[in-house]
Amino acid sequence: MKENIDKQLQARNIKPTTMRQLVLQVLTVQKTAISLPELENKFEKADKATLYRTLKTFEENKLIHSIDDGTGSVKYALCREACECHPEDLHVHFSCTVCGQTYCLTDIPVPKIHLPAQFQLESVNMVVKGICSNCDK
Amino acid sequence: MKENIDKQLQARNIKPTTMRQLVLQVLTVQKTAISLPELENKFEKADKATLYRTLKTFEENKLIHSIDDGTGSVKYALCREACECHPEDLHVHFSCTVCGQTYCLTDIPVPKIHLPAQFQLESVNMVVKGICSNCDK
DNA sequence: ATAAACTTTGCAACCCGGTTGCAGGAACAT
DNA sequence: ATGTTCCTGCAACCGGGTTGCAAAGTTTAT
Ligand SMILES: [Mn+2]
Ligand SMILES: [Mn+2]
Ligand SMILES: [Zn+2]
Ligand SMILES: [Zn+2]
């Protein structure tokens, strides 16, 4: 497992420090996207700023992507191995209004949009809000 | 003009106080979506809390809709006259990474998404980021 | 091996958008 | 006129995010 973690980091040109290994471990176990405050709570004693910068580093190197789900805190989730976070790589996200979980709908690509003349697309954030399958029962 | 402002308020069952008339006036003139801090700056001396509650009232009564464009502050824009903010009523938004303006692309409806089983849709926030026609020159 | 240079971490402080409690004032109904 | 409800202004607070800085750790050059 540790092996794998380090490989992932190296594949994205991120030096495998202890802190980064731990954070990536959490992100790997995690099934839904996680916010900075939530990440903080996963550790007994961890510094917000360090975690913050760790996430920034991960994001810059496209190990993770961020989702603004409108809940007030940005969430983060692992990218697929080959992801370069280009517009074609993007998928839809789902934010549950009951449990607050945010899901990567990796099978659902963001639909192409035909923009008005002279508008240039760089990226898209598409978040569906509703009730997730866990809360639907 | 004042006439019109009051009519719009009454059409949404909002009592036309001075504050509300002024805010709606600003929102009507405004061509792009506006945030609470930006709205504050449109007035010499205005109370943030009052403006905040005014926007909330407007939103609850579907006179305006909110857009979370990921810039850190929620933006607001007028709804079309008949808008009920149902999923079918929603349109795509565009946030310019150069000038920071957020546009309502009212002609571009949010594409229908086929969610996984047991996921119930309530609403959608779709924001395209890029360079707007003004900044494209 | 030692020193210099660079990177990462931890702590504290700060910024800012958003939100709430409360008291005074305006509008409305009786 | 009196009571009730709604609106406004002020102040304080909250929480996520961000930064400066010095200590600790790592890498590179001598
Ligand atoms: Mn995702
Ligand atoms: Mn809009
Ligand atoms: Zn749920
Ligand atoms: Zn622009």
pLDDT digits (tens, 9 = 90+) for A110-122: 999 999 999 999 9
Order of strands, sheet of B75-78, starting from the edge strand that comes earlier in the sequence: B34-35, B75-78, B64-67
- Distances in whole angstroms, Cα of residue B92 to Cα of each of A25, A60, A68, B72, B100: 36, 27, 16, 18, 16
Kindly report the number of other CB atoms within 10 A of residue A125's CB atom.
23
- Can you give the pLDDT at residue B57? 97
Second CATH level (architecture) for the domain B2-130: Orthogonal Bundle (1.10)
Q: Establish if B98 touches chain A: CB-CB under 8 angstroms.
A: no
pLDDT tens per residue across all 137 residues of chain B = 677 899 999 999 999 999 999 999 999 999 999 999 999 999 988 899 999 999 999 999 999 999 999 999 999 999 998 899 999 889 999 999 999 999 999 999 999 999 999 999 999 999 999 999 999 87
Contact A102, B95 (CB under 8 A): no
Q: For A26-58, write each residue's pLDDT tens digit.
A: 999 999 999 999 999 999 888 999 999 999 999
Task: Choose, out of B32, B119, B121, the residue to mutate when testing the contact with A (most A CBs < 10 Å).
Answer: B119
- What is the DSSP-derived secondary structure letter of residue B79? P
Cβ separation B124–A125 shorter than 8 A: no
Contact B128, B95 (CB under 8 A): yes
Q: Establish if B114 touches chain A: CB-CB under 8 angstroms.
A: yes
- Can you give the pLDDT at residue A1? 65
Q: For A65-93, write each residue's pLDDT tens digit.
A: 999 999 999 999 999 988 999 998 899 99
